[in-house]
Structure 1
């Protein structure tokens, strides 16, 4: 096989310094491996190991027996108002229009959008709530389908975060840091667990919008950060090609593409020998995955094999690519094919004004499909080992932003408390965890921080969040930074 002159030259002129550098990397990897996994080469010591992993990730075995094999995260971008959906506060209705007491607010900061606002009048939800008979939890009339799965979900009303603006808050939820550049949850999972299906990515991202003027997302939310780049999320789109540039161009057939990739892999291998850049392996891995996806992705995007009752369950929008309902159905199909992490982002929940009108639209676009996903997974026996999560980056204030009228109001960002629910994979269903004060402003029972939430998610996957690290620029990083504790009280 003929190689380019540049590759031959690089191979010939490899310096003593490059030789020592690449060799030290190889020897260093062996040494590091012996420190991280001292029993890896000792067959006798592994016979009693808790489950081995065959997906090709760096974790040769899990830290404890997992409850979850995969995660579906239904992220509601913009910050859904917990006060209109799940956290019933009749006191706010009684005190409608009154100034929030200083003893409640306690000087806590507000976002820049309220800097010029001199009054903070309390506002109760315009929507009716009903208590679930078995669980005792309250559900708004905006969430009738979610109330039907109350016994399958754990409602956490005591989530809290430090981030008060959208992008840092979204990045914090996904990466454990408010600053960009860290790996997201899906990338950590891909890195640690590998993939159970070699024909599909281990981490898939699906986007939808609840309204036309929805705030866009930073792609850093599904980026691999300092982990190898082939662990970043692969975005499935609603166009003719679910993955960009997946189809062969005119004049190129599958055999030609295979020959091209083989030749390219040989060139890349020589480049790796010359320079020792680990990202070359990522490039080869991505090329090969794209080749395999040319067959697997069109098959999974073809919903013609779904029976009519499935579309009745998810709603008519499940037939329309790009909708939240369609993405929920796609998430179930991906879960069936053992994709480890499916991240749905539904945009549009940021309602500083006109909240009573806009939240109806957003709730309607998500409620039925979210509940349908849980029901669908349950009837297929997949909910037992699939962790489903629903929630946003923060909550909304108990006082109104802007002018308050009987018909209209808005709510600003509120990081002090908000609601998230989890279901399946060893999470205790029918549970309401955490409690806020009568004003829905501060947590008074069982707070759950972002890092606690992340630690609990990893725990259900069989991973100890304190032991799962990656060394970068002289420091060992982890998803939960240096914080986090598993919320054991929500585990079944």
Structure 2
């Protein structure tokens, strides 16, 4: 995932929180599950840690029957045993990742409760995000957006917010994949997403964070400009769809590329996923041709052997 590559390159700014957090839709994981924020062939330590405002990390609090001193003794013993085991398996990246994860979990018991506590948010902030007054799903997504800002404030390097889940999720309308009833389903998804997302960007700007934060709103498909055979839905369209960027290093009030008159294919300045990722890495201060990881006999890149920075979108 993109977040894994950035974390691999830049590390963390807060040793007591994950460098890469994935905030899942209130209805559950998106299609493809944890692969959306996985590490792939990068070391396991760089995968995203997933939780949300409504589903905080588990086991945050020490059991009441365990004293703080005994808890610390247990942690110290576990650290020594893990270190000894790792010495015998120095090339096991998964083992090293698990040990790092357990140690981070211990530190998170002190840091996460404060991050997750939205009670200190002002009434005006909650209203701006749309926490109250809309659907339950909109309120939950709004709280996720506030959580994203709080994580960024505390030095989390990458926060990946999801809007949409796999079809096993909640209300029967779980994502943007509208093969039927597109007017109904897109209207409902937009009602959930629009206000909280706009409020997050405005909040980052108001707090002086947007100049140092890159906001990427992205999807992997558009929809076809014509209906499917059922007459109410539209199929995937990989050849014309929209993403937007704002914040650090991004040219303002600029639209890059156009589709044809039907919205069927990109007609002017077509952009590949490789170009998109190369540009995002550049905005993060990284050269996509030099950011590599040796795997299976090759120096691997996020952009493979492709990709060019879209200089027109840079400020």
Q: Is the 8 A contact 1:349 1:359 kept in 2?
A: yes
1:412 lines up with 2:235 in the alignment: yes
Query: 2:122 aligned with 1:313, yes or no?
Result: no
Secondary structure of the 2:16 match is coil
Runs of 5+ unmatched residues, structure 2: 165-174
> Match of 2:109?
294
Which whole-Å CA distance do the structure 2 matches of 1:206 and 1:364 have between them? Answer: 19
Question: SS where residue 366 of structure 1 aligns?
Answer: helix
The answer to whether the 8 A contact 1:451-1:483 is kept is yes
Report what 1:258 is aligned to. Answer: 72
Q: Report the Cα distance in structure 1 between the residues aligned to 2:227 and 2:28, rounded to whole angstroms.
A: 21
Match of 1:448 among 255, 267, 271: 271
Alignment TM-score, normalising by the size of structure 1: 0.58
- Out of 177, 185, 196, the residue aligned to residue 358 of structure 1 is 185
CA distance in 2, matches of 1:351, 1:214: 18
Q: Counterparts of 1:248 and 1:217 in 2: how far apart (Å)?
A: 33
Deviation at 1:481, TM superposition (A): 1.2
**Whole-angstrom CA distance in 1 between matches of 2:11 and 2:296:** 24
Q: 1:399 to 1:213 in 2, by over 3 A?
A: farther
- The alpha carbon displacement at 1:214 in A equals 9.3
CA deviation map 1:221-270 (0-9, x unaligned) = 1111222212111111345x611233334523433232222111211222
TM-score between the two structures when normalised by the length of structure 2: 0.90
Give the aligned partner of residue 486 of structure 1: 309
How far the C-alpha of 1:213 sits from its partner, in A, is 10
Deviations 1:395-414 (A, max 9, x none): 0001101233xxxx211001
Matched position secondary structure for 1:388: strand
Aligned pair in 2 of structure 1 residues 232, 418: CA closer, same or farther (>3 Å)?
Answer: same
Is structure 2 residue 148 aligned with structure 1 residue 331?
Answer: yes
Which residue of 2 is the match for residue 435 of structure 1?
Answer: 258
* Match of residue 91, structure 2, among 277, 281, 296: 277
Residues 214 and 252 of structure 1: is their aligned pair in 2 closer, same or farther, counting only changes over 3 Å? closer
Select 1:267's aligned residue among 63, 75, 81. Answer: 81
Q: CA deviation at 1:318?
A: 9.8
1:369 aligned residue (185, 189, 196): 196
Distance 1:237 1:313, change over 3 A: closer
CA distances 1:18-68 after superposition (whole Å, capped 9, x unpaired): xxxxxxxxxxxxxxxxxxxxxxxxxxxxxxxxxxxxxxxxxxxxxxxxxxx
The answer to whether the aligner puts 1:193 opposite 2:10 as a matched pair is yes
Flag the 1:317–1:448 CA change in 2: closer, same or farther, 3 A: farther
Contact 1:426–1:491 at 8 Å: present in 2 too? yes
Within 5 Å, which residues of 2 pair with 1:63-212?
Answer: 184-209=1-26
Q: Tell me the residue number matched to 2:216.
A: 389
Classify 1:334/1:471 alpha carbon distance in 2 versus 1 (closer, same or farther; 3 Å).
Answer: same
Query: Pairwise CA RMSD of aligned residues?
Result: 2.1
2:158 to 334, 337, 341: 341
Matched pairs, number = 302
C-alpha distance in structure 2 between counterparts of 1:461 and 1:317, whole Å:
35
Task: Give, in whole Å, the separation in 1 of the partners of 2:92 and 2:69.
Answer: 28
Q: Is the CA contact (8 Å cut-off) linking 1:318 and 1:326 kept in structure 2?
A: no
- Once residues 196 and 87 of structure 2 are traced to their aligned partners in structure 1, the CA distance between those partners, rounded to angstroms, is 50
Tell me the distance in 2 between the aligned counterparts of 1:315 and 1:476. 46
| SS at structure 1 position matched to 2:264 | coil
In structure 1, runs of 5+ residues without a counterpart are 1-183
1:236-255 pair list within 5 angstroms = 236-239=51-54, 242-255=56-69
Residue 400 of structure 1: which of 227, 240, 247 is its match? 227
Higher relative CO (Cα under 8 Å, sequence separation at least 6) belongs to 1
8 Å contact 2:30–2:162 — kept in the other structure?
Answer: no
The answer to whether the 8 A contact 1:318-1:327 is kept is: no
- CA distance change for structure 1 residues 256 and 228 in 2, over 3 Å: closer, same or farther? farther
Structure with the greater alpha carbon radius of gyration? 1
Q: Secondary structure at the match of 1:323?
A: helix
> What is the Cα deviation at residue 216 of structure 1?
3.8
